Structure formats: C-alpha cells, structure tokens
Structure 1
Amino acid sequence: MTTTAPLVRRETDRGIAVLTLDSPHNRNALSAALIAELTGALREAARDEAVRAVLLTHTGSTFCAGADLKADGVHRGPALLVDLMRQLAELPKPVVARVEGHVRAGGLGLLAACDISVAGAAATFAFSEVRLGLAPSVASIPVLARADQRAAARWILTGEPFDTAEAVRLGLVTARAEAEEGILAGLRASSPQGLAESKKLTTERFLSRLAADSADRTRQSARLFASQEAAQGVRALLERRDPPWAL
C-alpha cells in the first residue's frame, strides 16, 4: 500500500503552530492538494487553544512558486488563492511567514496575505507574470493593500527579481530573518483575545479590498490565461525557453 507524503508538515513549538510547505518537487507551488492540506492545518491551529500564532515556512530553495500550472491547469489557481488569502486574513491568530528561498508570482500573494513576514539574505522575489503575458491579478490584492504602490510598480511591470532589503523597503516583507525571535516572543507574550482583536484592525483594509476586487481580479486572470499570448508564455515557461516577444 502506497502512502502519500504530506505536502504540509505540522508541529507545535511553545504555542506556535509551525506549518511547513513540503512540496519541493514543484517548488511548493499552490496546487489544489497543497492548499487543501494548508487549509486544514490552519483550521486546526485556529481551534487549538494552546496555539497562540502560526509560523508558515518551507522546505527546499523556494517558499512558493505560485500556482501549479502542471497539476491544476490555468483556471483553478486564482479562485483557490482568493479563498486561501481570505482564510489567512480571517484566522483569529496571527500568521508569520518565514522565507529562506525564492518567492514567485502567486507566492507573493500568499506571502503578503500573512500578517507578519521575515526573510533571509538568500530570499529573492519576482512578479514573474508580466513576462508570461499575464498579470499578478489576485496576488496584487494583498500586495497593493500592504506595500508601497509606487515602489511595487517597478517590480510588477518589469518582472525583475529583487532581494530581501528591497522587499522590506517596499513593505512586502516585515523584517529581516534575525527579527523572528523577537516577533515570536512578542506573540507568545500577548493574550489570545488581544491578538484576535488587534489582528482585525490590521487586516481591515486588506479584507475590504479582497471583498471589493476579488471577482474582477479572478475574471481578469481567466481572461489573460485564455489569451493566445499567455498560452505562448506559459508554454515557453514549461519548455524552459524564452517567449516569442523577448528581445
């Protein structure tokens, strides 16, 4: 009998539920299977009275590469990401992301939907959609609700990779990795009620934008994915070659 290894590993460390994305074969892409496991783990953490906060991290060299185009095609990803981001924002416990590798495309939406994030020196970030004939439609909702829009425009429009220092500067990442210990200590020292009510204040703008924009952004994503240009871009990505418009 074959047993499928979990895509999300769970453990608890002094009141912190540590959830580790463990799907390195596809760079922790947001497949329907991984999202289902992550959703279940978040629900379990929400119910557990011993858990004060959640730490979301990863195995391998990539925190998250965005949607899993090979497993789920081009249509399911945006709606799945919207639901996951809403769950993260509405969870009554803070979610801290720890990034020690690369973050790409929809993975930036996952990162921005977390309440606090820290990243190491090896981390890199890129809104790679623009180079595929796409746009960071759904991922842009938490990014533009929380990051400096003027500073983010360069990276969204060019698809260039950028480092942790720039991610902190534009507000996509809260702090460098060395701040993690103090952040977790602060969360452990805070009351459950205080954290839940304080989190409502910090997520209000993001949730408002999610309610107002998610339908339009999901339709935009579907329209772009259905285009001939995006088909060429995705095919080039899967075949590991430049798209036809690259100069």
Structure 2
Amino acid sequence: MTLVTRTRTRAVDTLTLDSPDNRNALSAALVTELADALTDAGRDRAVRAVVLTHTGNTFSAGADLKDPPRPEALVALLRQIVELPQPVVARVTGHVRAGGLGLLAACDIAVAATTATFAFTEVRIGVAPAVISLPLLPRADPRALSRHCLTGERFDAAEATAAGLLTAHADDVDTALTPMLDGLRKSAPDALAETKRLLTARVLEAFDRDAEHLTALSARLFSSAQAREGMTAFLERRDPAWVV
C-alpha cells in the first residue's frame, strides 16, 4: 500500500501523507516512503517547490507506536526537508501531534486551517520531543515551547502561529497558500535554493551540533520503563500509572 502519493501542478509537487487509518502516524514505512519522494523531488529541476499535506483529519499523529521509525531515520528525514533545494510548504487541514510538529518545523512555510489543533504529547507517554527539537528550537518561541512541551496541552492554530510553528492560519488554507506558491513559481530556482540555504543555516547548525546526542536520548527514552507504561496506557485508552 502506498503511504505517500505524489502529484504535480505548475511545477509544484504535492506529497500527500496517505495513511488515515492510523492518523498518518510516522511509521518506519511512511518515513521511508516520504524520504524517497523528497529525494525524487529534490533531484528534479522542474520542481519549483514541494507541498507536504495529508488525507484524513490529522496531518500526523507523531511516531507510530506500533511501528516506530529509528531515531536516526527521523533525524535524516527532518534534515532532508531542511536541506532540500526547493522550499517545502506544509498544508495542514487537520490536527498535528508530537512528531508531526517536527515535520512542520522542518518546512520553510507552514499554513494550517483555523480549526486545526496541536499538541506536544510526548511527555504524556513518558518520552521527550528530543529529535524534533532540532528544527523546533531555532525557529519557535522559547516561552511557548516551554509551556506546550512540558504540559502536553492542546492549543489552537492562532497560538501555533504566534509561537512561530506556523507561517499563518486561515479559514481557507488553499486561498492563503495561493499567493505564496505563486511567489515561489515566479522566483529563480537557483536564487530560491541559495536563499533557503541562508534561512536554514541556524537550523542545520543545530543538526550538526546536537543530532547524535538527541538520537541517543530518544532511543534511551523510548526503551524506558516509563515509556513502556505510557505507550501501553495510550494503546489501552487508560491513564498511565503516574497520573495523579
């Protein structure tokens, strides 16, 4: 079954996460397919920009607890988005949780529906947003991240925009994206690539400096007793043992 589909309209490739049965969770298979699709788009000189979107009511629920990707694979995917020569634009019409917010942070532009909701749910299952902090910390508001990453609270698109997690939110996402995509189509490909390189330099510095440490941290936390309890509780739809 194909988990990522690819279409093209006027030099813009759209990569659609198409695993709605598990809310487009980042399984090992989906991460591999998305990385392959990004590689193909990145090598194609006819592609001016890439739109990353989804089927169903969830952009991505984060790591697939039944088939999680290796931390190294998720780091590589996030870095691939940041390093892709073409701008990557997130088109979000549903909800975003945990690792899905890492995808948003890696994108150059992110626009979501006003009705979308967001949450860093890692702490609720006994882990931390370790790997996804690589693109998040250089781009988002530190105070907002402190609240949302520590509490796991759900927040809305207006808060996500104010925190720097989104470029914009709108009732009609496609109407909001139209002038942005038209602007990318009017821009010289090499100039776009060099401008993106300037804008992502700080993000890539974080990858170079911290990726190895955070990959190890993620692996350690996901294998911990608290994570086993948290993930079991989540799958059994009950509170984990530490809830008071």
The verdict on a shared fold, with TM-score over 0.5 as the criterion, is yes
Deviations 1:149-192 (A, max 9, x none): 11211000000011100000010011123421111011011010
Mapping for residues 203-214 of structure 1, pairs under 5 Å: 203-214=200-211
Paired position in structure 2 for 1:34: 30
Cα distance in 1, alignment partners of residues 72 and 122 from structure 2: 17
Is residue 64 of structure 1 aligned with residue 60 of structure 2?
Answer: yes
Paired position in structure 2 for 1:234: 231
Counterpart of 2:9 (choices 9, 13, 25) is: 13
Paired position in structure 1 for 2:162: 169
Is residue 50 of structure 1 aligned with residue 46 of structure 2?
Answer: yes
Letter of the structure 2 residue corresponding to residue 22 of structure 1: D
Cα distance in 2, alignment partners of residues 80 and 66 from structure 1: 14
Is residue 193 of structure 1 aligned with residue 194 of structure 2?
Answer: no
Cα distance in 1, alignment partners of residues 202 and 93 from structure 2: 28
Is residue 126 of structure 1 aligned with residue 109 of structure 2?
Answer: no
Deviations 1:204-246 (A, max 9, x none): 0111101111111111112212221111111101111111111
Does the CA contact (< 8 Å) of 1:103 and 1:126 recur in 2?
yes
Does the CA contact (< 8 Å) of 1:81 and 1:110 recur in 2?
no
Cα distance in 2, alignment partners of residues 228 and 47 from structure 1: 43
* Cα drift, residue 145 of structure 1: 1.1
* Cα drift, residue 54 of structure 1: 0.2
- What is the percent sequence identity of the aligned residues? 60
Find runs of 4+ consecutive structure 1 residues off by over 6 angstroms: none
Cα distance in 2, alignment partners of residues 95 and 88 from structure 1: 7
Does the CA contact (< 8 Å) of 1:67 and 1:77 recur in 2?
no
What is the RMSD computed on CA atoms of the aligned residues?
1.1
Letter of the structure 2 residue corresponding to residue 182 of structure 1: P
Letter of the structure 2 residue corresponding to residue 226 of structure 1: S
Structure 2: give runs of 5+ residues left out of the alignment. Answer: none
Cα distance in 1, alignment partners of residues 115 and 73 from structure 2: 28
* Cα drift, residue 49 of structure 1: 1.9
Cα distance in 1, alignment partners of residues 226 and 67 from structure 2: 21
Deviations 1:28-48 (A, max 9, x none): 111121112111111111122
Structure 1: give runs of 5+ residues left out of the alignment. Answer: none
Paired position in structure 2 for 1:150: 143
Q: TM-score, structure 1 length as denominator?
A: 0.94
Does the CA contact (< 8 Å) of 1:30 and 1:77 recur in 2?
no
- State the SS of the aligned residue for 2:200: helix
